[in-house]
C-alpha cells in the first residue's frame, strides 16, 4: 500500500490542512489532559512541516459532541499543551470552518501553527458532507492525514476533503501503514497473533485473517470463556457470547486442520463479582465455580503463553488478558507485556485498550510499535480498506 507522504511534496509557503487524532483522554474534574501520547506522536509531522516553511492548520475531533458545541470538548486545552511541546505559539479559532477560520488561516505565517476548533461540533463532519468538506478544503493548499486512529471512518476530514485537495500521508500515518502492513503481509516466522478483551464479536475478522498466516494463535481475556463453553466447560457467570459458540468451534477446528497452535488459558483468576475489591482465587479452567466469573488469566496460563511467545519472531497483540483497570486483575496483562518487552522479535501492540495498558505499565518504549489506532488497527489487521488511507494519493 504505497501512498505519497509529506516527503513527496513541496510544502514551503503552503497552507497545509493536517488531520491529526487528538482525541485524548481528559480529566472530567480538572478539564486537563490525562494522557498526551497522541499529541506527542504527531510532533514529528508538525515539526517536519514547520521546519520547511509550511503554514500548518491542524484539525481534529475530541469526544462525541454529536454535532453540537460542547465547551468541555473544546480543543483549547489541547492547543495549549501542543504549544508547550512545540515551544512556540499555537493559534486557535472559535470554529473549524467559516469566515474567522478562513481569515486566520489566510494570515498564518510560514512556520506558523493554527488549531481549528473541534470538527465534531458540526454534524456534517461525521456525515462526510460535501459542502463541509469543501469548506475545510478552502482553508488550505494541501491536505495531510496523520490520524491513523480515525482512518477507518469515512468522515469529511478523513475522506471528503481529499476530493478537493492533493492528499498525502503524514509521518505517523506512514509509520502505521508500513509497520502493520509488513507484519501482516511478510512477517518473520514463527508468527503469533495474541487476542484478548471481552468479546469475540469485535475480533472475528482478525481471528479469521490470522489463521491464514500465523504459526500460533493465543486467545486470552474474557473472550476465552466463549471458547470454553463451546468445549462444554462450565464458565460460571463469566461473559459469554452464546451466538458465537459455533464460530468458536469452527475456529478451533480450522486451526487444527491448518496446523495452527491455538492456545487457550489453562487456569484463571475468578472473582465472586465484577468489582475491584471482589473475592478472588485461581482455579483450573475446568473447575470454575458456578457463581464466579473469570477476570484474569492464571499462573499456569502465563507459563504456557510465555513459552509460546518466546519462540516467536513476530507477535501482534490486541486485547488485554484480564480486567487490567482493576489492580488485582491486571497481573496477567502486565506479565505478558513484560515478556513481550524482552523478546528479540517484532512486537506490535494493536492499539486501543492494549496500547493504553502497555503505556500505563511503562512497557510502550520496549515494543517495536504501539499503534495509535484502536478500531483502525483492528480493521487494518482484518485486511479491510481504510477510507482515510484509500483517499490518499498513490505513490
DSSP code for 161 = G
Give the SS3 label for residue 16: strand
Q: How many CB atoms lie within 10 A of CB 373?
A: 26
The sign one gets for the Cα dihedral 71, 73, 75, 80 is positive
Q: How far apart are CA 201 and CA 239, in angstroms?
A: 12
> Which of 3, 19, 38, 203 is flagged as catalytic?
38
Model pLDDT, residue 266: 98
* Average pLDDT score, the chain: 95
Model pLDDT, residue 317: 96
Q: How far apart are CA 62 and CA 73, in angstroms?
A: 6
Tell me if residue 81 is catalytic. Answer: no
Q: How many CB atoms lie within 10 A of CB 47?
A: 14
Give the SS3 label for residue 213: coil
Model pLDDT, residue 28: 80
Q: Which fold has domain 187-381?
A: Rossmann fold (3.40.50)
Tell me if residue 87 is catalytic. Answer: no
Model pLDDT, residue 1: 58
Model pLDDT, residue 32: 87
**Could you check whether 6-175 and 187-381 share the same CATH topology?**
yes
> Which of 220, 221, 352, 388 is flagged as catalytic?
352
> Which of 52, 80, 182, 199 is flagged as catalytic?
199
Model pLDDT, residue 202: 85
Tell me if residue 352 is catalytic. Answer: yes
Model pLDDT, residue 323: 95
Is domain 6-175 given the CATH code 3.40.190.10 in the classification?
no
- State which H helix or E strand residue 136 sits in: helix 130-137
Measured between alpha carbons, how far apart are the two ends of the chain, in Å?
Answer: 9
| Residue listed under C-alpha cell 488485582 | 328
Tell me if residue 199 is catalytic. Answer: yes
Domain ranges of the chain: 6-175, 187-381
Instruction: For Cα atoms 147, 149, 154, give the angle at the middle one, nearest 5 degrees.
Output: 80
Model pLDDT, residue 294: 97
Model pLDDT, residue 165: 98
Residue ranges of the chain with pLDDT lower than 50?
none
Amino acid at each position: 500500500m504505497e501512498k505519497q507522504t509529506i516527503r513527496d511534496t513541496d510544502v514551503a509557503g503552503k497552507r497545509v490542512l493536517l488531520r491529526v487524532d487528538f482525541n485524548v483522554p481528559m480529566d472530567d474534574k480538572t478539564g486537563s489532559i490525562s494522557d498526551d501520547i497522541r499529541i506527542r506522536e504527531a510532533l514529528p509531522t508538525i515539526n517536519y512541516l514547520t521546519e520547511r516553511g509550511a503554514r500548518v492548520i491542524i484539525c481534529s475531533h475530541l469526544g462525541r459532541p454529536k454535532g453540537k458545541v460542547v465547551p468541555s470538548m473544546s480543543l483549547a486545552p489541547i492547543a495549549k499543551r501542543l504549544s508547550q511541546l512545540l515551544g512556540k505559539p499555537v493559534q486557535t479559532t472559535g470554529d473549524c470552518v467559516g469566515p474567522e477560520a478562513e481569515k486566520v488561516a489566510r494570515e498564518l505565517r510560514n512556520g506558523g501553527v493554527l488549531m481549528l476548533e473541534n470538527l465534531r461540533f458540526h454534524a456534517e463532519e461525521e456525515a462526510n458532507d460535501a459542502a463541509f468538506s469543501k469548506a475545510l478544503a478552502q482553508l488550505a493548499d494541501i491536505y495531510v492525514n496523520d490520524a491513523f486512529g480515525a482512518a477507518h471512518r469515512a468522515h469529511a476530514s478523513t475522506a471528503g476533503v481529499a476530493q478537493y485537495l492533493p492528499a498525502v500521508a503524514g509521518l505517523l500515518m506512514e509509520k502505521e501503514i508500513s509497520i502493520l502492513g509488513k507484519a501482516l503481509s511478510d512477517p518473520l516466522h514463527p508468527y503469533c497473533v495474541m487476542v484478548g478483551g471481552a468479546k469475540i464479536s469485535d475480533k472475528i475478522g482478525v481471528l479469521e485473517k490470522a489463521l491464514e498466516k500465523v504459526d500460533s494463535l493465543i486467545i486470552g481475556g474474557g473472550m476465552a470463556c466463549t471458547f470454553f463453553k463451546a468445549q462444554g466447560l462450565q464458565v460460571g457467570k463469566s461473559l459469554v457470547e452464546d451466538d458465537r459458540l459455533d464460530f468458536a468451534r469452527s475456529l478451533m477446528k480450522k486451526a487444527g486442520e491448518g496446523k495452527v497452535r491455538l492456545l487457550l488459558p489453562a487456569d484463571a483468576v475468578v472473582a465472586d463479582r465484577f468489582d475491584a475489591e471482589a473475592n478472588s482465587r485461581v482455579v483450573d479452567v475446568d473447575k470454575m465455580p458456578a457463581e464466579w466469573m473469570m477476570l484474569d488469566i492464571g499462573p499456569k496460563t502465563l507459563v504456557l503463553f510465555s513459552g509460546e511467545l518466546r519462540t516467536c519472531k513476530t507477535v501482534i497483540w490486541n486485547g488485554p488478558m484480564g480486567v487490567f483497570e482493576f489492580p488485582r486483575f491486571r497481573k496477567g496483562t502486565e506479565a505478558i507485556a513484560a515478556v513481550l518487552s524482552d523478546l528479540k522479535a517484532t512486537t506490535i501492540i494493536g492499539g486501543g485498550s492494549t496500547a493504553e495498558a502497555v503505556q500505563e505499565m511503562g512497557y510502550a518504549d520496549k515494543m517495536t510499535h504501539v499503534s495509535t489506532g484502536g478500531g483502525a488497527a483492528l480493521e487494518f489487521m482484518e485486511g479491510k480498506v481504510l477510507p482515510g488511507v484509500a483517499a490518499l494519493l498513490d505513490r
